[in-house]
Structure 1
Amino acid sequence: MKTTETLHDFDEADFLDDDEQIAEYLTASLETGDAAYIAHALGVVARAKGMSKVAEESGVSRELLYRSLSNEGNPTLRTMLAILPALGVRLTSMPLVQARP
């Protein structure tokens, strides 16, 4: 007997249901220090929130969002500052904790 399975593409955006999960996801991406991954993560969150809604709330065109937040994208600081409130998050800083000898 032959069984067939249907495989679906995995999309992280399908699992980001609330602002707490989104904040944790973005924090983890920022901690990598990998600009391409951070842009990708911002794109995932924008898809989870709805790209059209993010574009409208941020004043950034959908085309620029897709381009900036793709795997090859490199969003400017200006773009990031515009879209972060639309994603329901803010950028904060904290001091690095140095290990004591």
Structure 2
Amino acid sequence: MKTNTSPYNPFDYLETEEEINEYLNDAFMDDDPQVFLVALGHLARKQGMQEVARRTGLNRESLYKSLSGSGNPHFFTVKKVIKALGCKLEVA
């Protein structure tokens, strides 16, 4: 029997800005920095990567690569994406 699956985006289940910020902050605290980049990429795709690219002034294709989990974006890029998404990153 064949099992059908579909892509999973955790941001489809986070409803409030507080929940999204908490998820991103938890991902940031993970020992693997790629976890945070993937989480940020999920949020950017949910809001529309083209719109995020427009707000940041960055190339859409490079954003996809940077936020895929296998990219290695500069901190400047990550900071611009966080700001464009309206998120707050808190380091405690």
TM-score calculated relative to the size of structure 2: 0.83
Rg larger in 1 or in 2? 1
Take 2:31 and 2:11, find their aligned partners in 1: how far apart are those partners?
A: 21
**Among candidates 1, 17, 20, match of residue 19 of structure 1:** 17
Q: Deviations over 1:9-64 (max 9, x none)?
A: 32223223332222011011011131111111110111122111111111111111
Deviation at 1:73, TM superposition (A): 1.4
Q: CA RMSD in A?
A: 2.0
CA contact (8 A) 2:28 2:36 kept: yes
Take 1:18 and 1:89, find their aligned partners in 2: how far apart are those partners?
A: 11
SS in 2 for 1:33: coil
Pick closer, same or farther for the CA change 1:28–1:52 going to 2, 3 Å. Answer: same
TM-score calculated relative to the size of structure 1: 0.76
Long gaps (5+) in structure 2? none
Identity value in percent:
36
Long gaps (5+) in structure 1? 95-101
Corresponding position of 1:98: none
